[in-house]
Amino acid sequence: MPSADDLTNDAGFVFEGQITQLGASNTAAYPAGPDTAVVRVTRIIKGPPALSGYGNQLITVHLIDTGGRQANQESVFFTHGLHYGEGLVVGEVGVPDTALAAATMTAALTASTDTPMTQRLAAAELVVTGVASEPRPFAAPAMATLAGGSPVPRISEHDPDWWSTTVTVESVEKGDHGGNTTQVLFANSHDIAWYHAPKIKAGDHGVWLLHNRDHRGRPVPALAVTHPLDFQPMTEAPRVRRLLKK
């Protein structure tokens, strides 16, 4: 039997669910068969934002193994998408060892969720908590160099449109910073290259993962938040501190 770690890494959509009907489908484009089931999603554990609205919804699951499955049974499903449109159809990538302790399963799922955040924390030059001021357009000096020492590149059609905010620092979680404030850049552009980058507003209060390179590894004019994980609400501070201690 595959481990929960392997299944979590392989699956794009992991959820707890209850089988409502075996040998059935609730999607016309995906016919029912002996290895399909209609499942109610009771809790989403891992998944892309596009599937975040499927909590408490009925979906069709192509089961990898029907042995021992029965109606009203609740379990964790490790799946990937098969059909999107009129209804959602997902296929199992595997079934975990039924003897696996619930605590072990939860730990594996939590570790998988934490991995991207752990990587961003490791790459960050400075991690602080604090509150943002009113953002303003960032005007780099004509002869400025980037945080990594390279010349400022010419503007392209994917220019990030850097804006700046001053963050009043409440605590330093990683790195060295002696002042009460720090300048933070963010990409105000809604171009496809920057659409998911944090867009900061006055009063944003949280954890700031500050980098001297953007999410594609290119130098930036000053410490910046460029990845969706680089700004976290204060409710995530305990998690960030836990991950930094590892």
pLDDT of 156 reads 52
Label the pairing between strands 126-132 and 136-137. unpaired
pLDDT digits (tens, 9 = 90+) for 225-241: 999 999 999 998 998 99
Fold exhibited by the domain 124-245:
OB fold (Dihydrolipoamide Acetyltransferase, E2P) (2.40.50)
Give me the mean pLDDT over the 147-154 stretch. Answer: 51
pLDDT digits (tens, 9 = 90+) for 160-196: 999 999 999 999 999 999 899 999 999 999 888 898 8
**Residue-by-residue DSSP string for 133-197:** ---EE----TT-B-TTSPBPPPP-TT---EEEEEEEEEEEEES---SSEEEEEEE---STTTTTS
- Domains 4-105 and 124-245 belong to one CATH topology: yes
217 pLDDT band, cuts 50/70/90, is: confident
The whole-model pTM stands at 0.56
pLDDT of 141 reads 59
d(CA 132, CA 135): 8
Token digits for 217?
């590894």
CATH number at 4-105: 2.40.50.120
Amino acid symbol at 114: D
Domain boundaries, the chain: 4-105, 124-245
pLDDT at 2 over 70: no
pLDDT digits (tens, 9 = 90+) for 103-139: 556 566 666 667 788 999 999 999 999 999 999 999 8
**Residue-by-residue DSSP string for 55-79:** TT-EEEEE-S--TT--TT-EEEEEE
